[in-house]
Chain A
């Protein structure tokens, strides 16, 4: 998302203009839906979460502080926390375990993958599974490195190095565009 569009959306949010939600949905809806799904592994539940999250985003729009975090970070926090609350309240441990198994067929579970996401899926495939797992634990499961080490039964040192490499790989993929953006900004 361009910084300009982000600024525009933030302004609209400040003015309590509904168009802000419409734009947010167009630009972040897919990603946030993916976040919700990653946490709960249930499409119907993920829909409820996305809906609830957008209502929260609208209601709490005056609490967003652009000096503290990027807009996406704020949106992500709201969505992920909503998903975690939902998961806690609606699932028994048993069900959760079943859903963890379902997660393995995640790519088959959702039919509605847009063609334009195929390249990000490809991007995801560019990152080796072992790095993905660590990134997953960090960004979606919200584990500390120590917790990831315990949970995944991988030594802390390995977690640290895999995370480092995973982040570097990630930067390689999206960094090409952001490096370009940085270049443009520096020229301006």
Chain B
């Protein structure tokens, strides 16, 4: 062990380490020796003492003002660093706010785009509805105003004596409408359903819901020698008319 220490001390590594000219690897090695062997530690401490003493022997007074200059540089650097830190903090806050607001605007933009799609769809469907209704009104006008239009009065049978309806049929334009004037009240679980027999087939025309609205004209599918029926059906309507429940019919 002594031999190992002697060899180490002979290498000049300790002196090189003292002056700070060892490589990283050598530094680790020297520090390990200093930590492990008190003799090496002692030699190193002596060397440090010798270095300081020898260096002191060569002391020279630096020129006046150098101390103030050095302190000024250090102060300026520290101030610069502080300023940089302040800027860095300000910049991070700005970046954070920017990121936050960017996300906020992005989110808002996304929502607005979705809303825009919804509104556009609504407008389109409204347009379609309007066109359909306008077409309907136009047809009604044509039918009502046309000299070829024939007007049929419908009356209910025993089941619905109060039933009154007017049908308008135009064989030229091939359009027919029905206006239900009056319908007797039905129990809660029943409803009126309109049918049309077109070319031998029964077509479901739907349930008459708002018969209070007695100005409404119902479009009927047109065909030569078609038949219109109104039946009483269970609530919610039926898939085919119940013949014994017919309250009115119309040949047109």
Contact = CB atoms under 8 A, between A and B. Distances in A.
Bin chain B's interface residue count.
35 or more
Q: Is the interface of B mostly helix, strand, loop or mixed?
A: helix
Interface string B60-72: 1111001101110
B61 A77 contact: no
A114 B61 contact: yes
Given A33-B59, A113-B61, A171-B49, 15 more contacts: A22-B71, A26-B67, A31-B56, A31-B59, A35-B55, A38-B58, A50-B66, A55-B70, A68-B34, A72-B55, A112-B62, A120-B56, A123-B57, A124-B57, A127-B57
A47 B50 contact: no
A16 B194 CA distance: 97
Contact of A31 (B55, B63, B67, B70): B55
B19 A69 contact: no
A69 B48 contact: yes
B73 interface: yes
Interface string A106-117: 000010111001
Interface residues of A, number: 56
A170 B12 contact: no
Interface string B27-59: 000010010000000000110111111111111
B53 A77 contact: no
Interface string A63-94: 00000111011001110110000000000000
A76 B55 contact: yes
A178 B67 contact: no
B6 to A, nearest CB: 13
